[in-house]
Amino acid sequence: MSKTLIAYGTRFGATAKSSEVIAEVLKEKFNHEVDVINLKEQKESLDLSVYDIIIVGSSIAKFSWTKQAKKFLNSDFTGKKLFVFISSAGITYPALEKGNMEKYEKWKRRFLDRVVKKNANVKPSSTAVFGGWIKRNGQMKISNWKEEDAVNWAEEIGKSIS
C-alpha cells in the first residue's frame, strides 16, 4: 500500500476541496493511505520520509501561489513521486474552458510549469489545472470548479502508481 501526502495552500477553499476529492479517490479506488495537510495550518515540519507519493496544490490569486505551498515545493522530494496542481478560477482554467489553448498554455507555463521547474528538485510525474472559486465580500464572484476534474486526475495518479 502506498502512503500519500497531499499538501496544499488555499485562499477560498477550492484547492482544499480538490485535495479532499483526490484523497477520497486514492483511498477508495486504489487503497492508498492518504494524509491531507493545509499548509497554512501546519506549524511543524513534515517528515516526508514516510511518504511514497507527494501531491502539492496551490490556488492562484493575484498572479501567485500561496506562500506556504510555494515554500513547501522547495522541499526535498528525492525518491518520491511528485504530482502538482493549481486552482485557477480567474485566468488559466477559463482559457481552457473557452478552448483558447494558446492562452491556456501561456498561463499554465507561467503559473504551473515555471514555478515547479524553478522550485521543485524533482520533475513531477503529472501536473493539472483545476478551476476554482473566488469570493468577495462573502459573495461568490467566480465559480468554475468541477469535481470531475479532480476525480479524473486522481484516477490517473492511482493508475500510474498501482
CATH of residue 146: 3.40.50.360
Element (H, E) at 84: strand 81-87
What does the block give as the cell for 16?
482544499
Q: Domain residues for 88?
A: 3-161
Output the tens digit of pLDDT for each of the chain's 162 residues.
679 999 999 999 999 999 999 999 999 999 999 999 999 998 788 899 999 999 999 999 888 999 999 999 999 999 999 999 999 998 899 999 999 999 999 999 999 999 999 999 999 999 999 999 988 888 888 899 999 999 999 999 999 987
Q: Kindly report the backbone phi and psi dihedral angles of residue 12, in degrees, each rounded to the nearest multiple of 5, phi listed first.
A: -115, 0
- The total number of structural domains in the chain stands at 1
Helix (H, G, I), strand (E, B) or coil at 77: coil
What does the block give as the cell for 97?
474552458
pTM: 0.94
Cα–Cα distance measured from residue 113 to residue 67, given in angstroms and rounded to the nearest whole number: 17
